[in-house]
Amino acid sequence: MAIARIDEFLSRDYVRDLDSLPMAEVRARRDTCQEAADELSYLRRLVQGRLDIVLAHLEAREGGETTDLAHLVEQLPAILAEGTRTGGMGRLPTSFSPADADGWIAAELDAVADAKRIGTLAELTEDEVRAIASGLADLERKVSDKRRRLFEVTDALQEEIVRRYKSGQANVDSLLR
């Protein structure tokens, strides 16, 4: 699970002296960073989904609507469809399989608002629900920032690969072997 090594990828040492590394190592680092970015994208969407649910619950409360669990479940398709966000880096994931949801990703998200807590929103005070929304918004910003920084690292690695091809240090034929 690449995401577990995110701090390593984001350190300056990870892209220091790239020109001294073998091409295979630069490619491997780029691919691993892309895998971690895909996993962060997955986490980000999970966070956004839970945040959308909490915000919809708050909106329903303010509007005097039913806020019980059955109503929430009934409204899920509309809530999640409305909450679709744009404005990310616009990069498509290279893999579409969900990351290990029992690992770091689930722990990070569940520390803020696990599924059981989301299911009991109607039983919480408005301040408690707002605190959950705030925690999820903070986590979304944190994940988005790491994801953006990881894209910068991936770009630096890709630029090194391109530089080597342009300078003749690497050739396309090596990919065919």
Any idea where the domains of the chain sit in the sequence? 23-83+100-166
Q: Which long-range contacts (CB under 8 A, 24 or more apart) does 74-81 make?
A: 79/52, 79/53, 80/49, 80/52, 80/53
Torsion region of 68: left, alpha or beta (phi above 0 gives left; psi -120 to 50 gives alpha): beta
Q: What is the pLDDT of residues 86-106, one digit of tens each?
A: 555 555 555 545 555 446 667
In the prediction, which pLDDT does 176 show?
Answer: 62
43, 12 Cβ separation under 8 angstroms: no
Q: What is the pLDDT of residues 47-85, one digit of tens each?
A: 999 999 999 999 999 988 877 778 778 888 888 787 555
What's the whole-model pTM score? 0.79
Q: What is the pLDDT of residues 106-165, one digit of tens each?
A: 788 999 999 899 999 999 999 999 999 999 999 999 999 999 999 999 999 999 999 999
